[in-house]
Amino acid sequence: LMIITNGMVAVNPLIHRQLGYDAFRDFAYVSMIASTPLVLVVPDSSPVKDLPSLIGRARTRPEAVSFASSGQGTSIHQVFALLQKETGTSLMHVPYKSGAEAATALLSGVVDVTAVETVVVGPFVQSGKMRALGVTSSKPVPNLPEVPVASAGLGAEFDVGSISGLVAPAATPASILAALERAMQVVAQSDGMAQLYAQGSQPMPTGSRVFQERMRQEEAKWRRVFAGDPAK
């Protein structure tokens, strides 16, 4: 068994030529687990006060506004790729090896903006080190209720998250897959998952058919977003 994300299924094939797997041929989809949104942030010293002002600066100064990601194809990269696509802007992509490095680059003033998972951004915002511009979910998250949804600042739908789910080898018998699917429904109601949801992740316990259909939708979505230049 393995936990995969929508980035592994829908984005990596667009960026990396030799993955060693085909997400729709090699895996049997069991159940989605959760979607973890991110929060767009700037240093507290930044002149950017909200998402519209960030977009305004990016439009007047193409490539002058830089964003840090945790690498090509990661959820942070996805956020800014979609942002550029939806707003017609062009930002400078500065990829790092991890989200921690991306956050450090922001705090050091190396880049202008990045995105941080909701489960870790709270202390940075509360200490005044980062200013939150918007959360990339369809509704505010429980642990950051004061942070607006990004779609409000953009005037367009902007629902981006790292969607995780459980898969098995493609040859797994149907009876075992059904048992795993039932078990995941139980796990979704556990105290451990409740804690995860309280930190901003959104529950998405679904059956195998819905899981696979959602990954197909993600594939089509990100193929459109990354068309032309997947490094953006």
**Which of these, 118, 124, 126, lies nearest to 143 by C-alpha position?**
118
pTM value?
0.89
| Of the listed ranges 24-28, 34-38, 95-99, 116-120, the one predicted with least confidence | 116-120
Percent above pLDDT 70 for the chain: 98
Residue 212 pLDDT: 95
pLDDT digits (tens, 9 = 90+) for 112-123: 999 998 878 888
Show the beta-strand stretches assigned E in the chain. 2-5, 27-43, 66-69, 92-95, 114-117, 130-135, 161-169, 202-203
pLDDT digits (tens, 9 = 90+) for 156-203: 788 898 999 999 999 999 999 999 999 999 998 888 888 888 777 888
**Which of these, 4, 11, 3, lies nearest to 219 by C-alpha position?**
11
pLDDT digits (tens, 9 = 90+) for 128-138: 999 999 999 98
pLDDT digits (tens, 9 = 90+) for 206-219: 889 999 999 999 99
C-beta separation of 89 from 100 below 8 A? no
Q: Is the pLDDT of residue 231 over 60?
A: no
Residue 198 pLDDT: 79
**Which of these, 69, 117, 59, lies nearest to 90 by C-alpha position?**
59
Residue 230 pLDDT: 55
pLDDT digits (tens, 9 = 90+) for 7-16: 999 999 988 8
Longest dimension (CA), the chain: 58
Domains detected in the chain: 2-35+161-225 (3.40.190.150), 37-154 (3.40.190.10)
Element spanning 180, H or E: helix 174-187
Rounded CA-CA distance 77/80 in Å is 5
Rounded CA-CA distance 219/10 in Å is 4
| Of the listed ranges 46-50, 79-83, 187-191, 211-215, the one predicted with least confidence | 187-191
